[in-house]
């Protein structure tokens, strides 16, 4: 039997157009993970998933040299979000017990990633839309954002 967790995530960003640097200034999530056996653990799973998803949106990228050498082989070279890069998350719960298992629980670990990817992308594209940018590939790095803003500026 399957269970179907669901939720809604909203990401708020500010973008410095002259540098392309994105700052996540707000993040709210409401998830239905069924009955929560331990709220702190569930929220920790959601927080970790949000950080993982936003990292994928904003910078995580494996880079190889032309000869096939991995250039992002350590955490010194691989961009990933750290606690200081993220705001306090506002996490809420909409509990709808699962009907297919005796505990009434649903998955929680995936909900943060599943919500942060589309909400992060949407937040960045919404912020850039006033400058004529309508598409941007992942990861949405400062370099890519700056180039997209400059290209849209030149096209106007």
The two three-digit tokens of residue 110, written as one number: 């995936």
Cα separation, 130 vs 35, in Å, equals: 42
- Which DSSP category does 36 fall into? -
Based on the residue annotation, tell me whether 150 is a catalytic residue of this protein. no
- Which DSSP category does 120 fall into? H
The two three-digit tokens of residue 31, written as one number: 């998830």
Cα distances from 130 to residues 124, 133, 148, in angstroms, run 11, 7, 12
Q: Which of 39, 66, 69, 110 is catalytic?
A: 110
Residues annotated as catalytic are: 110
């Amino acid at each position: 039997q399957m269970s179907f967790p669901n939720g809604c995530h909203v990401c708020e960003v500010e973008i410095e157009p002259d540098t392309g640097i994105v700052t996540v200034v707000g993040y709210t999530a409401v998830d239905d993970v069924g009955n929560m056996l331990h709220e702190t653990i569930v929220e920790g799973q959601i927080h970790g998933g949000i950080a993982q998803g936003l990292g994928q949106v904003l910078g995580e990228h494996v880079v190889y040299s032309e000869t096939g050498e991995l250039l992002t082989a350590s955490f010194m070279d691989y961009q990933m979000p750290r606690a200081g890069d993220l705001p306090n998350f506002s996490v809420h719960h909409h509990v709808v017990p699962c009907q297919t298992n005796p505990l009434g629980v649903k998955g929680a670990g995936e909900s943060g990633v599943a919500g942060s990817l589309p909400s992060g992308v949407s937040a960045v594209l919404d912020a850039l839309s006033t400058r004529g940018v309508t598409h941007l590939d992942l990861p949405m790095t400062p370099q890519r954002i700056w180039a997209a803003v400059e290209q849209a500026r030149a096209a106007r």
